[in-house]
Amino acid sequence: MNSLIRLDNIWKIYGFGEARVEALRGLNLNVKEGEFLAILGPSGSGKSTAMNMIGALDTPTKGKMLLDGEDVSNLDENELAIIRGKKIGFIFQSFNLIPTLTALENVALPLLFQHVSRTESLERAANLLENVGLGKRLDHRPAELSGGEQQRVAVARALVNDPPIILADEPTGNLDSKTSLEIMKLLQKLNKKGKTIVYITHNRNLTKFADRTVNITDGKIRSTRR
């Protein structure tokens, strides 16, 4: 498998003087194409900052980030946004759905930003919602959906641009154990279809789904296991 994401000696430092925080301290990580990777760590370990780097949501204080062979370490926000729109789908713990939009409209929204026609956007969104088991819930707004259903809408939205990479930030954090299992099995199914998936979690039990788990503590990888 080819390397899809590479972080070389990544440091991320916030603040100055006594307020200085070293969120990442020389992080090295290589994610292969088609891998299902778990990033495990407690609150404050640096795992969310690492996810921001992998997802091109932030740039490092020092070090090099390569995404599909391209150095993105020093790109500006507009350039990073273009790359994210094409290559990365995001799934968040809090779902981040727009409450006034239906499930169908929430999933279609990223395509409209990519200047895809409304008709095509809604058609692709409907197909994806059907694929995640929500074909009968297209016209429901987030408040009319369960937590698990909302997260399935979020998964469909992450897939709508057909990105090669899916990043999930505590994707089961607001779900009960049964629904968490369903979401992880859905991610596992997407991985078997060829998506590279990276998810962060503080729950060691959820790492059993991954091909590989890296444990981050104090901004560094402390251990790796398969």
72 Rama class: left (phi>0) / alpha (psi -120 to 50) / beta: alpha
* Domain assignment present for 11: no
Domains: count for the chain:
1
3: β partners: 32
* Domain assignment present for 88: yes
> Does residue 123 have a pLDDT over 90?
yes
* Domain assignment present for 9: no
> Does residue 109 have a pLDDT over 90?
yes
* Domain assignment present for 200: yes
Q: How does residue 1 score in pLDDT terms, banded at 50, 70 and 90?
A: low
Q: What is the per-residue pLDDT across 158-194, written as a single tens digit (0 to 9) for each?
A: 999 999 999 999 999 888 988 999 999 999 999 999 9
* Domain assignment present for 69: no
Q: What is the per-residue pLDDT for 74? A: 87
Q: Which of 70, 5, 67, 7 is nearest to 35 (CA)?
A: 5
* Domain assignment present for 178: yes
> Does residue 35 have a pLDDT over 80?
yes
Quote the strand ranges of 98-193, DSSP E. Answer: 165-169
Q: How does residue 88 score in pLDDT terms, banded at 50, 70 and 90?
A: very high
Q: Identify the CATH number of the domain in which residue 138 sits.
A: 3.40.50.300
Residue 95 sits in which domain range? 35-59+74-225
Tokens of 197: 């998936």
CA distance 197 to 188: 9
* Domain assignment present for 164: yes
> Does residue 31 have a pLDDT over 70?
yes
**Burial of 41 (C-beta count, 10 Å sphere; 0-12/13-18/19+):** buried
Q: How does residue 142 score in pLDDT terms, banded at 50, 70 and 90?
A: very high
pTM for this prediction: 0.90
Contact between 162 and 86 (Cβ < 8 Å): no
Tokens of 180: 């968490």
Average pLDDT of the residues in 65-80: 90
**Residue that is written with structure tokens 């992998």 in the block:** 54
Q: What is the largest CA-CA distance in the chain?
A: 55
> Does residue 17 have a pLDDT over 90?
no
* Domain assignment present for 24: no
Q: What is the per-residue pLDDT for 224? A: 87
CA distance 181 to 186: 9
